[in-house]
Structure 1
Amino acid sequence: MYVRHLSMRDFRSWRSLEVDLAAETTIFVGRNGFGKTNILEALYYLTNLRSHRVSTDAPLVHHGAEAAVIAATVEHNGRELTAELTVNASGANKARINQSPARRPRELIGILRSVMFAPEDLLLVRGDPSDRRRFVDEIVAQQGPLQVAARADYDKVLRQRTALLKTAGAAMRRGGSEAASVISTLDVWDAQLADLGARITAARIDVLAALRPHVVAAYTAIAPHSRPADLRYRPAAGPHLLPGPGSPAVVADIREHLLAGLAELRGKEIERGVCLVGPHRDDIDVILGEQVAKGFASHGESWSLALSLRLGSVELLRADGIEPVIMLDDVFAELDTARRRQLVEFTASAHQLLITAAVAEDIPDGLGGRTLDIDIVTDDAGRSSRLITGDDRCDGQQQRDG
């Protein structure tokens, strides 16, 4: 799989970009703030329908514009598909596949499969549970639009149920028919939350079970003299929610556990006005030796674990017969020599490798391919990014010679 052509309009710092790519290594070089990461972010968005840097869409739209457009033509097994997404600063986004409107943006899921390595990956080890949940949810989402729909529906139910909990306390104190109405409505939301939550939790558990051996093997290769790495799903509802060793997750069983937890904690939820049960409170333990790595792993160990998580996700896709586009966003500047070498060796077999770097010296020896330079242009409309073409380089050289 590789991206043959990428176009962007009014996305981040780019007013316009048209670039042909190939099944090779392409290196985007530009100073910090010049827009090189925005190129990879656009492809990441087409893969996951979200940014890896911000939680809302408004910052993705170029200043002064109402919407951004990203389009990528992807070739996979001799077949070409063009995924196009209009990202609105406010309102719903719109998607097109081969110029035909899609009913929902999530229909784009699966057209482009990519894995990005970025400095933010350190949060997978040292950050909040939400960072690790997001990592696993992205892998689950690449299984298809149905998984994306379940997550979106769950988030809606969670917001509605939380809003009800915030007002339930006063209604319960007043009693009577108002209290009875609140209890009846909560029962309905509990059923929906448990049903969708069970599907999300089961998918996470199964994906993590498939990912785990790849991550363990990757860490052993990166840090052969370190303690062994491992992964463990930690549901807020308790370990009884997990299936037995080697067994797949059973949605019906998880649903019953979630319903029981919601019933048990309803009083506390009403008192606090928050939902205390569900996959939005779960965590994924990244383990080093016998301990959870967060809080005690060294900087080098944390980076090795973060790299292993990404390398494992690549191998998981390869196990399904998919060669993803691999994107390295300014990570070489963050790594020591040994980890740089490991990453270069691993990505050598990538069908398409896209790299960003602030300076060419950050790129390790042995990585060939094409280098594209990025600059900033300032005119009456403001600042925007641009690719420096061969003609631009020649003109610049002539001016210096003159």
Structure 2
Amino acid sequence: MHVSHLTLHDFRSYAAAEVALDPGVTAFIGRNGQGKTNLVEAVDYLSRLSSHRVAGDAPLVRAGADHAVVRAAVVRDGRTAVLEVEINPGRSNRARVNRSPLPRARELVGLVRTVVFSPEDLTLVKGDPSDRRRFLDDLLVLRTPRIAGVRADYDRVLKQRNSLLKTAGAARRGSSSQEAALSTLGVWDAHLARTGAELLAGRLELVAELAPYVGRAYATVARGANRDDAGISYRPSLELDGVADRGALTEALLAELERRRGDELDRGVSLVGPHRDELLLTLALGGGEERLPVKGYASHGESWSFALALRLASYDLLRSDGDDPILVLDDVFAELDTGRRAQLAELVADAEQVLVTAAVGADVPEVLAGARFTVSGGEVRRDG
């Protein structure tokens, strides 16, 4: 899979841009603020309908414009499809395939797959649990696109249920308004348990599949490490005791919601569900056999190696599904020491398509020699 042509209208800093791309390695070189990352961000947005840089869509639309368009010709198994998304902040986005509108924009998700390495990846290790949950969900959606709808439904139910908990908790105990809120709460409990079980089951299956890839990837990028040093595991917000099928997970969530009802009313928030779960990252440090949490125990270099391992593992897992995802290396080489820089370059050099951004051409390892574009003043010019 690769992108053969990228078209932008009012996306980020570009009023308009047309870029023809080839398989293999393409590097975009330019000083900070010239727009090189905007190009690869657009490709990644088509993959997930979200940005790896910002939480919302508003910053993606050029100042003064009311919407942006990203269009890409994507080649897969020798056949080309044109994917397009119209980004409308505050309104529903629109998506098309070969100029035919899709009923919902999220049906575009997964038609092109990307794995992005960026300086922000360190937050996967050092950031909040929400960063790691998002990492899991993004990968889960790429492999199983229908989960995008499940996640959207869960977020909607969670918002409604939290609002109801605040209303019920604020009402005087025994009042008619609290009784009405509590009776309605049972309906939202059922919705939360059903959608939560679907999301939880997907995450549990994903972590089980991803774990061996993480171990192998860490051994590759960390000097002197072996595949048993790095581990990932999933810690849910309730005791599961081996429960994994969706029906049993739904019942387990309902029981835990009932058990925590008093605490939730006191605090006015939902305390049970996938939004409270954690992806645990552990390392065998200092030659010991016991694994310790990466966050708080690992050095800066070890943390970077683990972050790279998570991305490489994602790439290898997606590749095992039968498709080469597009690899995006966004300003990542400037953050790595010489050894990790060379190692990462060797590992990804045989990918079907690699898109690299760098402030200085010398930051791109020689093994990733390929097409080069200079990005300056909003213009994208192919070298040579």
Using the TM superposition, give the Cα deviation of residue 109 of structure 1 relative to its aligned residue in structure 2, in angstroms.
1.6
Question: Matched residues in 1 for 2:339 and 2:170: separation?
Answer: 60
User: Is 1:369 equivalent to 2:370 in the alignment?
Assistant: yes
Within 2, Cα distance between the matches of 1:257 and 1:282? 15
Give the whole-Å Cα distance in 1 for the aligned partners of 2:3 and 2:40: 11
Amino acid at match of 2:313: G
Q: Is 1:53 aligned to 2:46, yes or no?
A: no
Label 1:18 to 1:223 Cα distance change in 2 as closer, same or farther (>3 A).
same
SS in 2 for 1:294: helix
The amino acid that maps onto 2:196 is: G
What is the match of residue 250 of structure 2?
A: 255
Q: Tell me what 1:271 maps to.
A: 266
State whether structure 2 residue 166 is matched by structure 1 residue 179. Answer: no
Q: Aligned residue for 2:283? A: 288
Q: Quick check: 2:253–2:272 contact (8 Å CA) kept in 1?
A: yes
Cross-structure match for 1:334: 335
TM-score (norm 1): 0.91
Q: Counterpart in 2 of 1:325?
A: 326
Preserved contact between residue 81 and residue 111 of structure 1 (Cα < 8 Å)? no
Counterpart for residue 299 of structure 2: 298
How many angstroms does 1:224 deviate by? Answer: 4.5
Provide the alpha-carbon RMSD of the alignment.
1.4
Q: Residue deviations 1:365-384, cap 9 Å, x none?
A: 222111100111xxxxxxxx
1:317–1:324 CA contact under 8 A, matched in 2: yes
Structure 1 residue 388: Cα displacement = 2.9
Q: Which amino acid aligns with 1:388?
A: R
Match of 1:344 in 2: 345
Residue in structure 1 matched with residue 232 of structure 2 by the alignment: 231
Measure, in 2, the Cα distance between the counterparts of 1:386 and 1:9.
13
What are the ranges of 5 or more consecutive residues in structure 2 without an aligned counterpart?
285-290
| Aligned residue in 1 for 2:288 | none
Give the Å deviation of 1:242.
Answer: 4.7
- 2:313 matched to which residue of 1? 312
Q: Is the 8 A contact 1:94 1:104 kept in 2?
A: yes
Task: Give per-residue Cα distances to partners, 1:20-76, cap 9 Å, x unaligned.
Answer: 111121000011111111111111111111111111111110000000100111111
Which residue, 376, 379, 382 being the options, matches 1:386? 379
Partner of 2:160: 160
Task: Describe how 1:6-17 pairs up with structure 2 within 5 A.
Answer: 6-17=6-17
Assess if the C-alpha contact under 8 Å between 1:10 and 1:68 holds in 2.
Answer: yes
Deviation track 1:100-140 (CA, whole Å, cap 9, x = no partner) reads: 11000111122111101000001111110011001010111
| Contact kept? 1:10, 1:16, Cα under 8 Å | yes
Report the alpha carbon displacement of residue 175 of structure 1 after superposing the two structures with TM. 2.2
Secondary structure of 1:145's match?
coil
> Is the Cα–Cα contact under 8 Å of residues 168 and 177 in structure 2 kept in the other structure?
no
Deviation at 1:389, TM superposition (A): 5.2
Amino acid at match of 2:326: V
Displacement of 1:197 in angstroms is 0.4
TM-score by length of 2: 0.95
Structure 1 residues 169-204: Cα deviation after superposition (integer angstroms, max 9, x where no partner): 233x25243332111110000000000001001001
Whole-angstrom distance in 2 between the partners of 1:178 and 1:40: 51
SS in 2 for 1:110: coil
% identity of equivalent residues: 51
Distance 1:241 1:192, change over 3 A: farther
